[in-house]
Amino acid sequence: MKRIAILNGPNLDRLGKRDPEIYGTNTLSDVAEGLKEQFPDVGFEFYQSNHEGALVDKISELTEGNCQGIVFNPGAYSHTSIALRDAISGSNIPTVEVHISNIHARERFRHHSHTGAVSQGVIAGLGIKGYTLATQALVDQD
């Protein structure tokens, strides 16, 4: 069984409540339940933190475990965090970055992603379906 971690950064605990016109009305629980239904043969680990260091620690923990992939929505940290970039780069775990909104159609400061530069791929602007697409890409890898 493949093990895939679904990591979410700051403010994603408020998904479904914060700016629903941008992020929609689904919650992280909805994302988790949907992934478990769509991929019953995958062992998921779900983690969310508003704290950069906790996310770095989690990636390090996953590196020491039996994790075959990471779907990561780093939120605003994608635009600011060299520490998360280095954690992803040093993990040797295939990582797909996900953004619910199209970061390239928003404020200019959101157009660059430090974490996306070291990820296998980036999915942006497809809502929570991005989590499904990222997971499928990781499942399809040998």
Tell me if residue 114 is catalytic. no
Side-chain-side CA neighbours of residue 13 (13 Å): 7
Q: Which of 47, 51, 77, 99 is catalytic?
A: 99
Q: Which two tokens stand for residue 99?
A: 């953004």
Tell me if residue 111 is catalytic. no
Mind telling me the catalytic residues?
23, 99
